[in-house]
Structure 1
């Protein structure tokens, strides 16, 4: 695979490394990472919703000039972001994979492969050829004699690679007490509080299973009023069970030897409010309310979910990718990665029309963009790039001229009246 070849070509085993110095004094070696909470269906559903929503993003390399005008350059990054960041994944797969790794490990590493060329001034230029999510079993942070930070990845195949940390895109969740890694002090997910809830939930579910089995197993006692040996008792029990199976009327005939005593089992199940409370504790942990999980949400509920849970991830993706993919000089001249949440299909028809009306009156949307909000394709004649605004919905380039002409006419009419 292209990633493996690139890693083998770049890793530098000849250098002398020591563990990076951390303020905490701990050795910066971290294993990847527990998965004990992911047996819960509620946990998996919550993460799946987040990963699915993030996979709808469209990352873009944009450039903002000194006047604040943004353009989308024809770059290798935009080519990769459009359909396939690497030969194994589409853009949607790539983003979904990153989120699952982030929530599984509280850390996600992405390595960008590239080739080097030089411009007319002799400056090195990176031509990116792929973006690969990494899933190491262990990571170590090292430094060389110049105190440059490196990261060594160990994989389940037995291979290990040492790369400059500045060349690796690193996303973190709950970045708190550890100096480099997301999660707890040991650089792993700190799920102790959540595990308590999941253990209670598991105990409740096991109790429900046992209660249901018990209520459907023993239904009564057949008292045989004569002395029988084991073989005769077994034959009598089988005769009684045969009567039960064949008793379509619900009435079982028994002779004077038998006496059937029913057992009325009344297992106490957990009420639905308690079950809903346990599930809601997990949903709040991940910031995914029940209407989002079921898909029965309003525009306002989705907006709240986006701002609370999705937007921090969107911001983190843009900043982490920009920090690694561009040099400080490229960032200074306006290059950055922005993840656009352009798909507005979650909005109701009324909200879509309100959006078109409000943004359209300001001349912010082209005709094709308005059609896209409603789920329609662009205009076939290629005129969909036209923007209109509320001044009789004329071309925005003619609006100022039109207003100026009306003003001159009005002033001229006033003079004539005088």
Structure 2
């Protein structure tokens, strides 16, 4: 693959490494797996919804000055983020891939490729050329003689690469008992509790399938009151089946040799409350409500979904990208990566109109911002801001009220 070939130039060579020291005493070698739960349609639907929503984000490199004003500098970062972080993925594909890898392994590694450029004063800086989500099957953490942390990634192609850990964007989920990796103590997805629920749910579904098949397949027992050999019984059964197929009235004519005993099967199915309970356990695990899963949600339901499930991902992405891409000096100068969520248009039309009325009357939105909220393109001269004259500065309002009280409630013209 072209990516693996390009990464070979970044492998640290000629260094002696030892295993990194982990505070909990475990050897820092982690296998990446956790696919057992992904056979469940509910699990896949939950992750797909989260990945689809995150794929709507718009990553941007911004610079914030001392007064809090934001500017979007021109450069390779915003060019990469706008359309294609690498040559085989669009920005939407890239973000969706990150979420799937994160939920698959509870860890995702992104490698930013870059070139060094030298300024006129002789200083070197990085010019980023791409961002690649990686899916290694094993990850080792190493240290050199100076204690610098490195990460060695093993791929199923047989290749392995060692990078400074500070050069790799590492995003974790459920970062708890392990010192470096997300997931459980061994740096792997800790899905044991969820797996139990999924196994019960699978057993219930299989029971439903068998119960339905049984109730529809065996309808009765045909007793043949004569001694027949196998061929005779087969011929009698075939004759009976023909009667079943041709019996439009529902009444079957049978001679004295045959006696039909109907079987009244009554398979017991699991009640809907139990099924709903099993499903809700999976949904709660991923922070996806039934309304979100069925794509039939209100503004309040989506807002809760965003704040509890999506927003931590948005914040984590921004912080992980910023700390890896920029040096400490660049961060001090106000550089950061922000994942804007303006395309997550969860508000209903009524809610949008109410927002336009409130924010528009206060002069908080330009005409183009109002159009964008409704999904319309910008217009020429749309940077204009308008506001209602029904509002007045608090200080002026106090002075106006004091003036009316001194004039006996008369207007200024009446007082004159």
Structure 2 length-normalised TM: 0.93
Deviation at 1:360, TM superposition (A): 2.2
Structure 1 residue 5 displacement after superposition: 3.3
- Determine which of 371, 382, 396 is the counterpart of 1:384: 382
Separation in 2, partners of 1:98, 1:221: 58
The farther-off stretch of 361-370 and 54-63 is: 361-370
Does residue 132 of structure 1 match 2:132?
Answer: yes
Once residues 229 and 296 of structure 2 are traced to their aligned partners in structure 1, the CA distance between those partners, rounded to angstroms, is 63
Q: Does the residue aligned with 2:384 lie in a helix, a strand or coil?
A: coil
| Counterpart mapping for 1:224-303 below 5 A | 224-303=224-303
Spell out, residue by residue over 1:214-254, the C-alpha distance to the aligned partner (whole angstroms, 9 max, x if none). 11111101111111111111111111111111111111100
Q: Provide Cα deviations, 1:69-91, integer angstroms capped at 9, x if missing partner.
A: 11111121111111111111111
CA contact (8 A) 2:367 2:384 kept: yes
2 CA distance for matches of 1:392 and 1:164?
60
**Offset of residue 344 of structure 1:** 4.7
Measured in 1, the distance between the counterparts of 2:138 and 2:354 equals 50
* Contact map agreement 1:288 1:305 (CA 8 A) in 2: yes
- Which residue of structure 1 lines up, in the alignment, with residue 81 of structure 2? 81
In 2, distance between residues paired with 1:173 and 1:354?
Answer: 37
Q: Distance in 2 between matches of 1:190 and 1:122?
A: 49
Structure 1 residue 204 corresponds to structure 2 residue 204: yes
Distance in 2, Cα, partners of 1:417 & 1:203: 87
Structure 1 residue runs without a partner (length 5+): 394-398
Q: Deviations over 1:274-302 (max 9, x none)?
A: 11110000000000000001111000000
Q: How does 1:143-158 map to 2 (within 5 A)?
A: 143-158=143-158
Give the structure 2 partner of residue 97 of structure 1: 97
* Contact 1:344–1:373 under 8 Å retained in 2: no
When the two chains are superposed, the root-mean-square deviation of aligned CA atoms in Å is 2.1
Q: TM-score, normalised by structure 1?
A: 0.92
SS of the residue corresponding to residue 236 of structure 1 reads helix
Work out whether residues 10 and 163 of structure 2, in 8 Å CA contact, stay in contact via their aligned partners in 1: yes
User: Would you say how many aligned residue pairs link Structure 1 and Structure 2?
Assistant: 403
- 2: CA distance, partners of 1:416 / 1:215: 92
Per-residue deviation at 1:272? 1.1
CA distance in 2, matches of 1:66, 1:93: 35
Cα separation, 2, equivalents of 1:327 and 1:142: 22
Whether the 8 Å contact between 1:3 and 1:113 is mirrored in structure 2 is no
- Quote the offset at 1:120 in angstroms: 3.1
CA distance in 1, matches of 2:268, 2:415: 92
**Runs of at least 5 residues in structure 2 that lack an aligned partner in the other structure:** 404-410
Residue 207 of structure 2 aligns to a residue in which SS? helix
> Where do 1:365-404 residues align within 5 Å?
365-379=365-379, 382-391=380-389
Cα deviation for residue 370 of structure 1 reads: 1.0
Q: Which moved more, 1:360-369 or 1:162-171?
A: 360-369
Q: Could you tell me which residue of structure 1 aligns to residue 121 of structure 2?
A: 121
C-alpha separation in 1, matches of 2:19 and 2:386: 60
Deviation at 1:14, TM superposition (A): 2.0
Mapped partners of 2:321, 2:182: distance in 1: 17
Deviations 1:392-418 (A, max 9, x none): 79xxxxx99xx9xxx9xx9xx979978
Inter-CA distance 243–200: structure 2 relative to 1 (3 Å threshold)? same
- Counterpart for residue 324 of structure 1: 324
- Quote the Cα distance in structure 2 between the aligned partners of 1:356 and 1:41: 40
- CA distance in 2 between partners of 1:188 and 1:299 (Å): 35
Contact 1:109 1:135 in 2 (8 A): yes
Q: Is the 8 A contact 1:345 1:375 kept in 2?
A: no
Whole-angstrom CA distance in 1 between matches of 2:213 and 2:354: 54
